[in-house]
Amino acid sequence: MTRLLGLSGSLRRASFNTALLNAMTDHLPEGVTLEVATLHGIPLYDGDLEAAEGIPDAVAELAQAIAAADGLILSTPEYNNGMPGVLKNAVDWLSRGGVAGGKLFAGRKLAIAGASPGGFGTIMAQAHWLPVLRTLGIQLWPAGRLLVSQAHKAFDAEGRLADANIRDQLAPYLAGFAAFVRGRP
């Protein structure tokens, strides 16, 4: 069984990125599971807080979920043509020495996706993640990324994926990433 963890970079209750990850759970290849995680409860990074209290419980729980997964799908919003601060903040916490010796992401296999109401999906946010991911030592899946533009039209009022074109992209995207995670081309 290949275990994937999808991490939504948005806190919004009706998040398009959480909805995208939830839609992925219906298009997984056989032998693959996907757990969806959010960033709720993670405080702003504060070195004084870390020194006084250690790693917050929400950070430790997310780190455990990441460590237990075979691969990670990062579903990033795009704010002002860049990565969202709340997701970068979580990554900063997760890369601290008190979490897996600062090596939680080293060698971890990761795919990137994102949904945005804008016309270009999350192409700028995804590009902004590249130097961060490289610094962390992540093995980025080079064969694919998923961009959902006009997300307010792609999902219905209940957060279900309504765009057939995007839906048709999910199974090949997930099968390709699962093969990468398993070490197959």
* pLDDT tens-digit series, residues 54-65: 999 999 999 999
AA letter at 39: L
**164 contact partners, CB below 8 Å, separation of at least 6:** none
Q: From residue 178, how far is each of 8, 73, 84, 111, 152 by CA, in Å?
A: 18, 11, 26, 10, 28
Smallest CA-to-CA distance from 182 within 29, 58, 49, 48 is with 29
**pLDDT given at position 8:** 97
**pLDDT given at position 124:** 96
* pLDDT tens-digit series, residues 134-176: 999 999 999 888 999 999 999 999 999 999 999 999 999 999 9
**1-27: average pLDDT:** 97
**pLDDT given at position 98:** 87
Domain boundaries of the chain, sorted by first residue: 2-181
* pLDDT tens-digit series, residues 69-121: 999 999 999 999 999 999 999 999 999 988 888 999 999 999 999 999 999 99
Q: Which CATH superfamily is domain 2-181 in?
A: Flavodoxin domain (3.40.50.360)
Residue 185 pLDDT greater than 70, yes or no: no
- With cut-offs at 50, 70 and 90, classify the pLDDT of residue 29: very high
- Give the burial string for 38-55 (b: 16+ CB within 10 Å, else e): bbeebeebeeeebeeeeb
